[in-house]
Structure 1
Amino acid sequence: MTLKNTDQRHFHRIFYKADATLNNRDKTWPCEIVDLSLKGCLLCFAASWQEDPEQIYTLVLRLSEDTQITMALSVSHVVDNTVGFKCEHIDIESISNLRRLVELNLGDSSLLNRDLLALCQL
């Protein structure tokens, strides 16, 4: 399977450097967030990504000791050790935390509202 980035984004990305963990049923990978949106993320790993592109993975991003964002992700594209993921599921608390993070970083609530409208139309 050849995975590529078609760069057809409908959501604003925020560039947010942070450490996170990605896991599936039996493995865990430390990673760095490169960017986030309401519909996915770009992650960087220490080594080239060789995992199954058909799996669903879980991202855990800790914002503070008691606040985190957890997303179920599928692989969108892979370039060496940088992997784009599409959000397949996010719980209400995590989407609220992500929404707030995106809103703070965009600095314009009208841009966030446009992203939320696009999310509802999927």
Structure 2
Amino acid sequence: MVDDRRIFSRIPFVANAHVLNTEGDVYLNCRVIDVSLNGLLISRPDNWSGKLTDNFTVDLLLNEAQIVIKMQAEVAHLDANSIGFHCKLIDLDSITHLKKLVELNLADEGLLYRELSALVDMPEN
């Protein structure tokens, strides 16, 4: 059995994301599998060349790209089918939209506030 130490609830969510790094690698319209207050999981693009701990800018596109949640993220999980990103930096507007998205999809308001508290209390890396 896998030891699941996940602090943040994963919310299955249908959306696309644009992923880019400082070397100019761009992956457009990646299919989002799920999101959390601390990152997201996408389907791995066919031409993916990133590695664990690589840093990317991830734009999560909502409402036909009318709303964009932008975060600086690190590759935390990588397998043949998916890539998991850990959010390292996110602006106030983006975290507000992300919180609302999670809030609308989590049935337990108490769980949301516990996760927000855990997010605030996390040590900086």
Q: TM-score, normalised by structure 2?
A: 0.85
Conserved 8 A contact 1:22-1:57: yes
From 22, 28, 49, give the equivalent of 2:26: 28
* Larger RCO (alpha carbons 8 Å, 6+ apart): 1
**RMSD across aligned positions (CA):** 1.8
Shift of residue 17, structure 1, vs aligned partner:
1.8
Structure 2: runs of 5+ lacking an equivalent: none
1:97 corresponds to which residue? 97
* Alignment of structure 1 residues 8-87 onto 2, 5 Å: 8-25=5-22, 26-30=24-28, 31-47=30-46, 49-64=48-63, 65-87=65-87
The 1:24–1:58 alpha-carbon spacing in structure 2 relative to 1, beyond 3 Å, is same
Q: CA deviation at 1:6?
A: 6.2
> 2:113 is paired with a residue of what secondary structure?
helix
Deviation at 1:56, TM superposition (A): 1.1
Q: Output the CA distance in 2 between the equivalents of 1:6 and 1:95.
A: 28
Equivalent residue pairs, number:
118
What's the TM-score, normalizing by structure 1? 0.87
Structure 2 CA distance for aligned equivalents of residues 67 and 34 of structure 1? 18
**1:1-46: CA deviations, max 9, x gaps?**
xxxx964210111000211110112121021111100111111123
Unmatched 5+ residue regions in structure 1? Answer: none
- Percentage of matched positions with identical amino acids: 37
